Chains A and B, each alone.
Chain A
Amino acid sequence: MSDTVLSLATIVGVLFSALTFAGVLIWMERRLLALWQDRLGPNRLGPLGLGQVLADTIKIISKEDWVPPFADKPLFILAPAVIMATTLLSFAVVAFTPSIAVVHLDIGLLFFLGMSSLGVYSVVIAGWSSNSKYPLLGSMRAAAQMFGYEVFMGLSLMGVVMQARSFDLRTIVLAQHTLWNCVPQFVGFVVFLIAGFAEARRLPFDLPEAENELVAGYHTEYSGMKFGMFFVGEYVGILLISSFITMLFMGGWQGPLLPPLAWFAVKTLAFVALFILVRASLSRPRYDELIAFGWKLLLPLSILNLLVTGAVLLLKDR
């Protein structure tokens, strides 16, 4: 009985904190971008401008929820739900601390990869059901980008899996108690970071929504809370990728002095800040450059990393 209550509490807590942090991230991104551009950012509403989160939420909820008459209505409504569902479901396997996790899956990492691959369906469906040209172009780009980046995203993590000999995230974190994976798996770390940017569709990989060519890409036709779900889904995605980088490469909750949850939060937020810093400083590459970069550089690099890691592990076993 108490187990059920505890796991329910964990589920509610994880969902609540993921969505709350995603909301706060909108404010955090605006403040941080401003700081890196010699501005101040939203600082008027409430302490440090945090009231902006509430104001944005009220604004977006109270907007008219409109479906364009030329859209494919059921799919149009389904698309934003898919991205929210897949990103939030991935949080189920995140091991926040040794004890806090919604579920301990043996194949937690595979579950995450599967869910993030499903996430691209949301973008493709959104673009297709919008029935207009810019969303379609955006979703085509998203599909091609995902083909390219999903492949080596998985491959870049296999080195980590080989070292921990497990797909279970808790085991992977515990395997890093002497040395964080970002040192022996440095190539994998960099490749996964880049793939993570592509997965979260953040600059410099935001070609699906490239606003100066495609209006707003796949969510051009969306408004109100359906747009809000794409918007929040993007930030939940950033949070998700950051927490997976933390778990897979930065030793998860491990660290001196502070409690495990605090270490997890600090590391994750540091990567979230990196996401925002990259947005502030890098420009968007041309589409073919992006695809070529993925297939011709990062894929061979991650395969090489896989081979070297395997060889080293085999030599150690001798």
Chain B
Amino acid sequence: MLNLLKGTFRVFMHLFRPRETISYPEERPYIPPRWRGKIVLTRTKEGRERCVACYLCSAACPVDCIALQATEDESGRRYPEFFRINFSRCIFCGFCEEACPTYAIQLTPDYEMAEYDRSQLVYEKDDLLVDGEGKYPGYDFYQVAGVAVVGKDKGEAEHESPPVDLHRLGD
């Protein structure tokens, strides 16, 4: 019986505790930087698209919400002709980010994506592309990969030696 009274008093004293509730639109909760929220496509420092349309994100996606079409520009760089993420399907697992070899696709702490119409949740490339570099500043796939494109031949990338000509090894 005494325990009941003690318990009741303890509950009463909770009146003076701070609230757990966050009054959402006015107050905001702390969202960690590595939060898996809205997906974006980032750019390099020069403002070029990082995505090379390798389809790895699309293949890794467990719910098949990523659709894209690869194409090539005149300098030989691959890029997606369209890039579409259906956020009404996306489960925000982050597998696409892990699969991406160029740090192009990234998940952000933005979670305010509610829409009245389901079709509004299909994001096109224009909606996904952002201006910044996201979580990996300074990284540029074409500057570290041994791929030849117009303006950068093999062996001209960072930390890269010129290619060895096997036929002239004996000279």
Contact = CB atoms under 8 A, between A and B. Distances in A.
Interface of A: 34-40, 277-278, 280-282
Contacts of B10: 281
A37 B18 CA distance: 10
B57 to A, nearest CB: 40
A18 B111 CA distance: 46
Question: Chain A contact residues: over half helix, strand or loop, or mixed?
Answer: helix
Given A37-B14, A280-B11, A281-B10, 17 more contacts: A34-B21, A36-B11, A36-B12, A36-B14, A36-B15, A38-B14, A38-B17, A38-B18, A38-B20, A38-B21, A39-B19, A40-B21, A277-B8, A281-B7, A281-B12, A282-B7, A282-B8
Contacts of A37: 14
Contact of A281 (B11, B17, B20, B21): B11
B20 A39 contact: yes
Interface of B: 4, 7-8, 10-12, 14-15, 17-21, 23
Contact of A38 (B4, B12, B19): B19
A38 B4 CA distance: 20
Contact of A277 (B12, B21, B23): B12
A292 to B, nearest CB: 15
A281 B20 CA distance: 18
Contacts of B12: 36, 277, 281
Contact of B23 (A36, A38, A40, A282): A40
10 contacts: A35-B14, A36-B12, A36-B15, A38-B17, A38-B18, A39-B20, A40-B19, A280-B11, A281-B10, A282-B8
A39 B14 CA distance: 10
Q: 4 closest A-B pairs (Cβ-Cβ)?
A: A281-B11, A40-B21, A281-B8, A38-B20
